[in-house]
A = this chain, B = another copy of it.
Amino acid sequence: MVAPPSVPLLLDGRALADSLRTKHAPDVAWLKEAGRTPRLVVLQVGADEAAQAYIRGQRRGAEAWGLSYEVRTLPADSGEAAVRRAIRALNADRAVTGILLSLPLPEGLGVRALQHTIDPEKDVEGVHPENLGGCFRGRGLLPCTALAAVALIEMSGVALEGAEVVVVGHSDIVGKPVAMLLLGRDATVTVCHKFTTGLAAHTRRADVLVVAVGKPGLIRGDMVKEGAVVVDVGINAVPSDEGPGRMRLVGDVAFEEVAPRVAAITPVPGGVGPVTVAMLMRNTVLAARGIPPPDDPNQLPLFAH
């Protein structure tokens, strides 16, 4: 007799995104009634091909949440001063409650200097240093992908206090913020990356493994602990066997090998991606609230599901 295959909990990002939207619907309704409809303006310089899929996802998200959404496109040859002026105009526009600078920018534009120009109270992507610093304290408009990773971990039901967490990837916008947020939940956190020697020794002791590298198949079946929770932030396009030229999306985790060993895992697509968009919408709502509604004098909790 063959043992039945293990069935891990699939951390369904679309379901989590829906529950976030439902949870915040009363806030959106209240803001609209008060004449403060949350309004997200995306500024792109030129129209990078790769960015358009994310923009489509944002637009669908904004429609579902009932938020105002607009993409403004500057000429691809705009200088840094022109982009800075456009950001300042959005900062000054009281009807605009959220600003997102679409990446990548054309070469020669200083990404960080421009992100620093965004009013931190409208920085709904959480890329201004003040909001990155908010990750030390778990408050403010925090980076959306890091928030999504933490929310999916919480969805698994794992107890984070004292848990061994390993984050693979040390980018400013995912690896580092997610590490800080999980330290804020009193996990023991290790951050690995391309300079780490002995990656597998680290990943094998992880109760919770977050992978954000952008390298398909990086995490193999023998690199995870039995019963772990795995969050796969990677989104990579690889050739599909459905036909020449066809592509499919995969994460950084070899899903077929890893899934049978673990307690819970995010699919790609349908895991971190939709929750990231939902967190962007949620940040846009938080930014628009400014003054809390009269019936709720407190800050919203960071994760609301």
Q: Cβ of A188 and Cβ of B195 under 8 Å apart? A: yes
Q: Cβ of B188 and Cβ of A202 under 8 Å apart? A: yes
Please name all residues of chain B whose beta carbon is closer than 8 Å to the beta carbon of A190 when the two chains form the complex.
188-191
Contact A128-B137, Cβ < 8 Å, known A176-B180, A195-B161, A195-B186: no
Interface residues on A, range: 35 or more
Q: Cβ of A183 and Cβ of B188 under 8 Å apart? A: no
Q: Judge whether A66 is part of the interface by a CB distance below 8 angstroms.
A: no
A115 to chain B, nearest CB (A): 10
Please name all residues of chain B whose beta carbon is closer than 8 Å to the beta carbon of A136 when the two chains form the complex.
129, 132, 172, 176-177
Q: Cβ of B179 and Cβ of A188 under 8 Å apart? A: no
Contact with B along A22-41 (1 / 0, CB 8 A): 00000000000000000000
Q: Cβ of A188 and Cβ of B180 under 8 Å apart? A: no
Q: 4 closest pairs, A vs B, by CB?
A: A133-B133, A129-B133, A132-B133, A190-B190
User: Which one of B112, B161, B187 lies within 8 Å of A137 (CB-CB)?
Assistant: B112
A140 and chain B: residue at smallest CB distance: B129
Q: Cβ of B197 and Cβ of A162 under 8 Å apart? A: yes
Please name all residues of chain B whose beta carbon is closer than 8 Å to the beta carbon of A183 when the two chains form the complex.
170, 175-176, 191, 193
Q: Judge whether A196 is part of the interface by a CB distance below 8 angstroms.
A: yes
In the docked arrangement, what's the CA distance between A192 and B195, Å? 21
Q: Judge whether A134 is part of the interface by a CB distance below 8 angstroms.
A: yes
